[in-house]
Structure 1
Amino acid sequence: MKITVADKLTYLFVKRSVKKIFCKKLSGKLPGSTVLKLPEEIWNEYKIRLTGLEKKETFGATLMVRLSLLTLILYEKLISENIEKQEAIRLTSEITWLFYDKLTGVFWIFTWLFSRKPIERVKKAISFSIRYFPYNSPGYEMEIINMNDNEISHNVYKCPAAEFFKEHKLSELCAKTWCDLDYSLADKWNVKLERDKTIAKGDELCTFRFIGKND
């Protein structure tokens, strides 16, 4: 894959916000000068390594693999600065959440048009993302198993992000950042998430069950 004009414009647009997030999360962990240089270093590394990535079947899958690469590079930068592995994973997770929160916020605002009830909004968001973007087939393979008044359950059989991290022998990073952030998202959406199986943890599929809260 190649860097596009959209990539460049996006980077220019979010560069200042990225620096603020890095300063907030990494101050005291790394020298200030190092923290300030990180966004540019990650961007330059991303441009180089993006050429080694293959374009996926759908735009959504391609986008998720691109974001996976950014997550990987951030983690590697923290490790290269002698931050212990589990601490690097924790910091990567916290930083990733701040961006994930903003991206998923678009779906949450959209669902407000249809309902004020959290579980109904979750059902709308999940249904849309599986059918249209970013989790549409054939890039992803997902299936809604059950949907009733108080829950929606779906399985994931193919996940490009999990495949990406597995190729780099960093499934643990995927599980503790990308996968576990789904629980934070459920809390934000005021629903409960149950997941018994996760591809990044060695299972053949991911099992999601979002349940409405009674309170």
Structure 2
Amino acid sequence: MLKIILLWYKTVAAKAATEVLTPNFEDIEIKAILKGYWLRYNALKREIKKEPTFGGTLMVHLAAMSTAFYQELTQRGISNAKTTKYFYDIAWKVYKIMGKLSWNITRLKYQSNAKRLKYATELFRAFPFSSPSYKWENILQPDSSVCFNCTKCPVAEYFETKGLSEFCVNTWCALDFPLAEMWNAKLERTNSIAGGAKLCDFKWKPNN
């Protein structure tokens, strides 16, 4: 199953990367970048340890793919800032597919925006951000906000081993904010594990 999902991701990511890179790269160079990134990932994946959950293992593999893309572009002399921006744009094209699927599923069960938001975050924490690979703490609120902390993130841990915590903050972590907008909400977060904090604090506030 893992191989099938990763091959799907490779296909979707390649399409997204082509769309994002085309304005600034020739077709032959884009193909070389995609080939190089996949070779780097195949080298990196040998050191990945299996997580307690399938979702956790999948996320670490995607972090390794992200690392491979970063390495491929920066080795070609592309700046950290440009590489980060390219990856953010590519990753969002893929991430929003997951986000739309979860949001559409919530419509089958709830009509209330607040209830849909709570259910969508529960779906994501069930898979792929599942315990115990990820550790979550729910925080009760007096209003319709959905609050919880993440106290363990295998993706943040992986990027730290590669010296790419800042890259993680500006890409993986940053994608949660447009995801919240897709879910008709606003996300407030003051800390992240990748940013050096002990936990990531999430407060999702549904739009009325």
Same fold (TM over 0.5): yes
**Higher RCO (C-alpha under 8 Å, 6+ residues apart):** 2
Q: Tell me how far 1:187 sits from its aligned partner.
A: 1.1
1:204 matches 2:190? no
The answer for the alignment partner of 1:154 in structure 2 is 148
Higher mean C-alpha deviation, range 200-209 or range 109-118: 109-118
1:32 Cα deviation after fit:
2.1
Q: How does 1:1-215 map to 2 (within 5 A)?
A: 6-7=2-3, 11=7, 13=8, 17-130=12-125, 132-147=126-141, 150-214=144-208
Tell me, which stretches of 5 or more residues in structure 1 are unaligned?
none
**What RMSD over aligned residues (CA atoms) do the two structures have, in Å?**
2.0
> How far apart in 2 are the matches of 1:145 and 1:179?
20
Structure 1 residues 106 and 145, CA gap change in structure 2 (3 angstroms): same
* CA distance in structure 2 between the partners assigned to 1:14 and 1:176 by the alignment: 21
| Inter-CA distance 81–188: structure 2 relative to 1 (3 Å threshold) | same
Matched AA of 1:20: K
Q: Alpha-carbon deviation of 1:115? A: 1.7
CA 1:100–1:48: 2 relative to 1, 3 Å: same
Matched residues in 2 for 1:88 and 1:77: separation?
9
State the TM-score, normalizing by the size of structure 1. 0.88
Tell me the CA shift for residue 147 of structure 1. Answer: 4.7
Which structure 2 residue ranges, 5 or more long, are not aligned?
A: none
2:176 counterpart letter in structure 1: D
Q: In the superposition, relative to structure 1, how do residues 155 and 17 fare at CA in structure 2: closer, same or farther (>3 Å)?
A: closer
- The 3-state SS of whatever aligns with 1:144 is strand
